[in-house]
Amino acid sequence: DVKVTQSSRYLVKRTGEKVFLECVQDMDHENMFWYRQDPGLGLRLIYFSYDVKMKEKGDIPEGYSVSREKKERFSLILESASTNQTSMYLCASSGLEGYQETQYFGPGTRLLVL
Amino acid sequence: GQNIDQPTEMTATEGAIVQINCTYQTSGFNGLFWYQQHAGEAPTFLSYNVLDGLEEKGRFSSFLSRSKGYSYLLLKELQMKDSASYLCAVSSEGNFNKFYFGSGTKLNVKP
C-alpha cells in the first residue's frame, strides 16, 4: 500500500512565524504535490516537484516555498505565516494505478495561524 | 482556465442509488478521477476514467463522456458510511500530471 505521511495533524502558529510542513512517501514516486483545501474552494495546488531539487509553481504559490532534497521527502515552507494561510494542507505523491498515474494523499495538516 | 463543476451537497437514503455529476472544461485531458473524503480526513482514490463509458467497481461506478466534458459517480446500495465528500478531478496533459479538483459534493446518507 502507498503510504504518504505528514509531520503534524494539527498545528497552531503565530503571524510572522516561519512554518515547516513535512511530507514523506515510501513508494519511490517521482512526483509530489502540496495543496491547500478551503471550504467552497476545493483543493488548490501550491507547488509540485517532479524530481529531487526540482520544483514547479502551482496555482497559488505566493507566500510559500518548497524543498525537495531527497526523493521521498517534500517540504512546504511558509516564510512568514499570515492568518489567511489558515487552512488544511494536503501532500500527495503520484504513481501508477493500473496504467494511469494517480495521486495518493497524506492525512493532512490543519494549520491555524493566530 | 480550468473549470470543474459539481453540486455542493446532496442527500440520499440508505439503500438507495445516488448519482453525483461532474462537468469539466480544461485545457488538456489525461483522465478523470473520483476521490472520497470523510470529514477531517485525506481524500482516498475511488476510480478513474480515461476512455468513454462506464467503469464498475463493486457498489461504485463512474462514467465518462469526453465529448461532453461530463462524468458521474454512481453509488448503489447506499450505506451510512458513504456519507462523505466526493471530489471530481481532471488530470491535465503534459509531463507532470497536474490534477484540477472540483470543490466536492457533500453526500448525506440518512436512515
Q: What is the mean pLDDT of residues B79-102?
A: 87
Q: Which residues of A touch B33 (CB under 8 A)?
A: 102-103
In terms of pLDDT, which residue wins out, B36 or A3? B36
Q: Please tell me the predicted confidence (pLDDT) of residue A105.
A: 94
- Residue B95: is its pLDDT beyond 60? no
Confidence of residue A101 (pLDDT cuts 50, 70, 90): confident
Disruptive mutation site among A105, A110, A111, A112 for chain B (greatest number of B CBs within 10 Å): A105
- B34, B43 in Cβ contact below 8 A? no
**Do residue B42 and residue A108 have CB atoms under 8 angstroms apart?**
yes
Q: Which residues of A touch B8 (CB under 8 A)?
A: 40
For A108, nearest residue in chain B (alpha carbons):
B42
- B90, B2 in Cβ contact below 8 A? yes
The mean of the pLDDT values for chain B is: 92
Q: What is the mean pLDDT of residues A78-99?
A: 91
- Residue of A42, A97, A106 lying closest to B101 (CB–CB): A42
pLDDT digits (tens, 9 = 90+) for A38-85: 988 889 999 999 889 899 999 899 999 999 999 999 999 999 999 999
Q: Which residues of B touch A45 (CB under 8 A)?
A: 98-99
pLDDT digits (tens, 9 = 90+) for B26-75: 888 889 999 999 998 889 999 999 999 999 989 999 999 999 999 999 99
- A81, B20 in Cβ contact below 8 A? no
A2-16, A26-40, B75-89 — which one is most confidently predicted on average? B75-89
Q: Which three cell numbers stand for residue B88?
A: 471530481
The rounded distance, in Å, linking the Cα atoms of B103 and B70 is 16
The rounded distance, in Å, linking the Cα atoms of A103 and A32 is 9
**Do residue B43 and residue A101 have CB atoms under 8 angstroms apart?**
no
CA atoms within 13 A on the CB side of A114: 4
Q: How far is CA B41 from the centre of its chain?
A: 17
CB atoms within 10 A of CB B78: 19
**Do residue A31 and residue B97 have CB atoms under 8 angstroms apart?**
yes
CA distances A79 to A15, A17, A28, A65, Å, are 11, 7, 28, 7
Q: Which residues of A touch B9 (CB under 8 A)?
A: none
Q: Would you list the DSSP string of chain A? A: ---EEES-SEEEE-TT--EEEEEEESS--SEEEEEEEETTTEEEEEEEEEETTEEEE-S--TTEEEEEEETTEEEEEESS--GGG-EEEEEEEEEEETTEEEEEE---EEEEE-
